Structure 1
C-alpha cells in the first residue's frame, strides 16, 4: 500500500469512527443527556462540566451546538444556559488528542475485532449500540495508526515536503492553511489529528504545527453557515456564539503567537518546557487553544449575548406561518428532542387555523400557509421514523403525534366548511366564539395543563350545555345555510376540537 493510500485510508477510518461514536452515543445518552442538562441549568459550574463531557463524547462542537439548538427550541433549556455548554464543549473535544498519544496499538485490533463480532452476533438494541460506539473508538485509533504509517514515508518525498514547507512558510500562511484544512475536512478535530500525525512523522516542526492548530477552529464556520439556514433568530444566535468562540480562539491564539515572537514566553515556551514528544506537546497546544478562549469568554457571557442580540435581533413582525419554527433537520438525530419539537410545531399549526368569513367561491382548499406547514410536519415525521432508531415509547408517541396532525387537519377542514356560510359582516358573533374556543385549546395544549385540557373537553362535548347554548344563539350569523345545518357545522368543528383535546391529554399522560 502506498503512503498516500495509507494516509487516505486512515483519514477515512478516522471519520467513520467519529460518526459511529457520535451516532451510537446519541442513542445511548439521548434521554440521559437531556436530564443532565435540565439539572445543570441553575449552576454555571455544572454547565461547564456538561460541556466538557459532551465535547469529549461527541467529538464535534457543531453536533453539540445543534443538539442544544434543538433543546432550546423544545423549551428544555434556555438560550443563556446553553451558551456556556457550547463554549466548554470545545475544550472537551481535545480529549481525543491525548488518547491518540497513548501507546495502545496492541489492543486496537482487539477492540475493533471484538466490537465488530459483537455487532454481528448481538440482536438487542442496547448491546449493539455499545458495541457500535466501541467499534467507532477502535476505528478512530486504527485510522490514526494508518495515518501515521502513511505520513512517515512522505518525509522522503521531495514534492510533498516542498508543498508542505511552502504552506507553512510564514505564520499567516500556516494559520490560513489550518483554516483551509478544517474547512475541507469539515472537522477541526480531524484537521488537528492530521497535523499531529505530520508533526510526529517529522514533516512539520512545532511552531508551524501550532499555527495550523490555531487556525483549525475557524475552518468549521462555513459548515455551520450552511446548517444554520432557516433557524429563527434565538436559535441562530447560539450557532453564532460557537462561531464567535472560533473567531476569538483563532485571533487570540495567533496574537499570543506573535507576541511570543517578540520575546515574551507564552504557549510555545510552556509546551517546550514539558520535555515530551511533539505529539504530546501539540495535544497540549490543542487544549490551550480552546481552554484559554473559553476562560476568557466565560466571565463575559452576558456581553456576548447582548452583542449577538444586536447583530441578529428577534424579528418584530409576525413570523411566516408557512415556515417551520421548531422542527429542525438537525433534531432528527435525537428522537426525544425531535418529538418534543414536533409537538410544539403541531400546536403552532393549530393556532394558525383561520376563523373568518370566506367569500363565495373560496374555501375549497386549506389556507396555503396552513397546508405548507402541515406538509412540512408530515415530512419531518416520516424522516424521523426512517432515520432514527425509536424505542417502543418513542414510536408510540410518534404515532400519536401523527394522529394529532390528522385531527388538526380535520379541525381545519371543519372550521373552513363552517366559515364558508358566514356573512362577511358577521364579526363578533359565531366566528369569534369559535376563534375564542380554538384559542383556549391552543393555550391548554401549550401549557400542558391537565385541568385546562379537562375544561376544554367538558366545554366541547357533543351534547354539552355550552355547545348547545352557543350554536342556538348565533343562527342569524349565517347567510345561505339554514339554522339546522349551521348548528351542525358549528358542532362538527367543535367536536373535532373535543377529540383533539382528548388525544393531547392522552399523549401527555403516556409521555409523562
Structure 2
C-alpha cells in the first residue's frame, strides 16, 4: 500500500511541477507566446514549428492545448492554424520525452536550489518568475525519478506480472490501457516513460509497449477535450480535431504493427530507447503526414460542433477566458477587449437615443433598454474577471492598466444608466404631455450628440493606445464641448425670450438633456487624464486649464 502511495504522490508531484513550469513561463513570456501563437501562423509549417517550440518551452502538450483553445475561443486565431499547432505540440512532447530519459539526476537538485534562491529573493521580478520555472523543472525531474523508483517494486509483484502478461499485443486493448495511464497520471509523458520502464524490466513485450504509447497519445487528446469543456464551441473544436487525429493515427498503424515491431526489435538499442524512439518516430511521421489535411479537418470539426445560437437575450462575455487568469498579461488583454465591447454598446445606445429624440418608434426604446441590460451584464463580468487576476503577480505597469480598465468599465456602466434615464425623460415628455422639440432645439441637441459620439470614440482609442497626443486632443475636444454646451444653453434662453411655444414647453427637458450630455462627455474623456497623469503632469495642467 505504501509503495502505491509513493507512486501516486510521485505522479502528483510531476503534475504539480508541470503546472509550476507552465504558469511561470506564461507569467514571464505570456504576451510573447500569445504573439507567437496568434500571429504569423497563417502558413502551416510555421504553425507546426510554433507548436513544437511552445510545447518544448512549457513542457506540456496539454498546456499548449489550453493556450490554443483559448485563442480560438476568443477569435484571435482560426481553427486551421490551431490544428497545425496541435500537431506540432504532439511532436514537441515526444521530443521532450526523449530529453527527459537522459541521466539528469544531478540537474534536479541544482534547479530546485537555484530556483528557490531567485524566487524568494526577487519574487516580483522576471528573475523571480524564472526561478519559479526552475523549481518546476527540478520537481518534474525529481518526480520522474520517484516514479521509476516507486514503480520498480510494484513490477516485482506476482499479481502485476500476471496483469501485464495478459496484454498479448491486441492493439486496441493496449491502446485503451495506455489511454487510462495518461488520464490517471494527467500526463502522456509520464505514461510513455512508465511504459519504457516496464519494457526495460521485461514485463511487457514491444508490441504491447507500442500499443500503450499510442494509447497514451489518445489519452492526452481525451484529457485536452475534457479540459476544453468550459470553452465555446470554437475552442472545443481544437481539442476535438487533435483527438480525431490521434484516433486516425491508431487506425493507420494497425496494419503495420507486426512488421514495425519486428523492425524495431532488430535495432541494437536498449528496450527503453526503442520505446522512446518509437514515440518520437510515430508522432513525427503521423503529424507530418496529416499536416496537409488540417483545412479538411477544420471543416469537419465545424460540422460536428456548430455554433449554438444564444437565446438568453442578455449579452455574454466573449473574451473573458478563465484559463488566461494564470497569465495576468493575457487576462488584462482579454478584459481590455471586453471593455471596448461595452464601449461599442454605449455607442449603439447613443445612436438609438438620437433616433428617439427625432421621433423614433417604440421598438427603438425597447432595444435601447435591452442594450443597457447588456452593458450591466458585461460590466459585472469584467469586474468579476479582474477580481480574479492575481494582483501580486502584476508588474507596476500591469497594475496601472488593471486600474484603468476598472475605471473605464465603471464610467461606461454609468454612461449606460444616464442614457437610459435620458430615454425615460424623453418618453415621459412625449407621451404624458405630447410635446416635441422645436426644429432649432432638435438641431442643437443633434449637434451636441454628434460631438459627444466623436468624443466617445476618441476616448476609447486613447484607452486602447495610450497615445499622449490623442489624449491632449481629447481634452481639447472636452473643452470645445463645454463651450458648445454653454452656447446652446444661451441660444435656448434666447428662444424663450422670443416666446417660441415649443421651446417653452420642452425647456426643462432640453436643459436636462444638455446637462446629461455634459456628464456623459466627462465620463468619455476621463481616459485622457489617466494617460497624461502617467507622463508629464505639466502637459495635463496646461491642457486641463479651465476644463471641468
Measured at CA, do residues 95 and 477 of structure 1 come closer, stay the same or move farther in structure 2, by a change above 3 Å? farther
C-alpha distance 479-164 of structure 1, shift in aligned 2 (>3 A)? farther
Could you tell me how far 1:130 is from its partner in structure 2? Answer: 2.3
Larger radius of gyration: 2
Kindly indicate whether the alpha-carbon contact (under 8 Å) linking 1:66 and 1:330 is maintained by their aligned counterparts in 2. yes
Aligned pair partner of 2:383 in 375, 378, 383: 378
Change (3 A) 1:471 1:438: farther
- Give, in angstroms, the shift of residue 333 of structure 1: 2.0
Alignment counterpart, residue 498 of structure 1, candidates 525, 528, 532: 525
Which residue does 1:161 correspond to in 2? 161
Report whether the alignment pairs 1:422 with 2:437: no
Q: Which position in structure 2 is the counterpart of 1:328?
A: 321
Q: Which residue matches 1:486? A: 513
Question: 2:21 maps to what in 1?
Answer: 21
Aligned partner of 2:406 in structure 1 is 402
Superposition pairs of residues 346-385 of structure 1, within 5 angstroms: 346-353=339-346, 354=349, 355-356=352-353, 367-385=372-390
Residues 426 and 509 in structure 2, CA contact (< 8 A), matched pair in contact too: no
1:10-409 to structure 2, matched below 5 A, reads: 10-37=10-37, 40-41=40-41, 43-72=43-72, 77=77, 79-121=79-121, 123=123, 125-166=125-166, 170-229=170-229, 231-233=231-233, 235-236=234-235, 239-261=236-258, 265-266=259-260, 268-314=261-307, 321-353=314-346, 354=349, 355-356=352-353, 367-386=372-391, 389-409=393-413
Distance 2:282 2:491 in 1: 73
What CA deviation, in whole Å up to 9, does each residue of 1:280-321 have, x standing for no partner? 211122223322231122112222222233334456779964
The farther-off stretch of 143-152 and 348-357 is 348-357
Whole-Å Cα distance in 2 between the matches of residues 40 and 509 of structure 1?
33
Tell me how far apart the structure 1 counterparts of residues 269 and 427 of structure 2 sit (CA, whole Å): 84
Q: 1:16 to 1:314 in 2, by over 3 A?
A: closer
The Cα shift of 1:169 comes to 6.7
Task: Measure the CA separation in 2 of the matches of 1:120 and 1:385.
Answer: 18
3-state secondary structure, aligned to 1:40 = coil
Residues 174 and 431 from structure 1, CA distance in 2 versus in 1: closer, same or farther, beyond 3 angstroms? Answer: farther
Deviations 1:36-71 (A, max 9, x none): 446633554333322111111212223213323444
- Greater helix proportion: 2
Structure-1 separation of matches of 2:290 and 2:89: 13
Once residues 324 and 288 of structure 1 are traced to their aligned partners in structure 2, the CA distance between those partners, rounded to angstroms, is 42
Q: Answer yes or no: is the 8 Å Cα contact 1:50–1:85 preserved in 2.
A: yes
Match of 2:359 in 1: none
Aligned-pair distance for 1:76?
A: 5.6
**Secondary structure of the corresponding residue to residue 425 of structure 2:** coil
Scaled by the length of structure 1, the TM-score of the pair is 0.82
Alignment TM-score, normalising by the size of structure 2? 0.77
Cα deviation digits, residues 395-431 of structure 1 (max 9, x gap): 1111111111111122112212222201287899769
Q: How far 1:33 sits from its partner (Å)?
A: 2.4
C-alpha displacement of 1:2: 4.5
- Using a 3 Å threshold, how does the CA distance of structure 1 residues 323 and 35 change in structure 2: closer, same or farther? closer
Alignment gaps of 5+ in structure 1 = none
CA distance in 2: counterparts of 1:316 and 1:205, whole angstroms = 51
Secondary structure of the residue aligned to 1:66 is helix
Q: Is the 8 A contact 2:167 2:208 kept in 1?
A: no
Aligned residue in 1 for 2:540: none
* Structure 2: unaligned runs, 5 residues or longer: 357-361, 431-435, 496-501, 537-548
Q: RMSD across aligned C-alpha pairs, in angstroms?
A: 4.1
Q: 2: CA distance between counterparts of 1:352 and 1:406?
A: 14
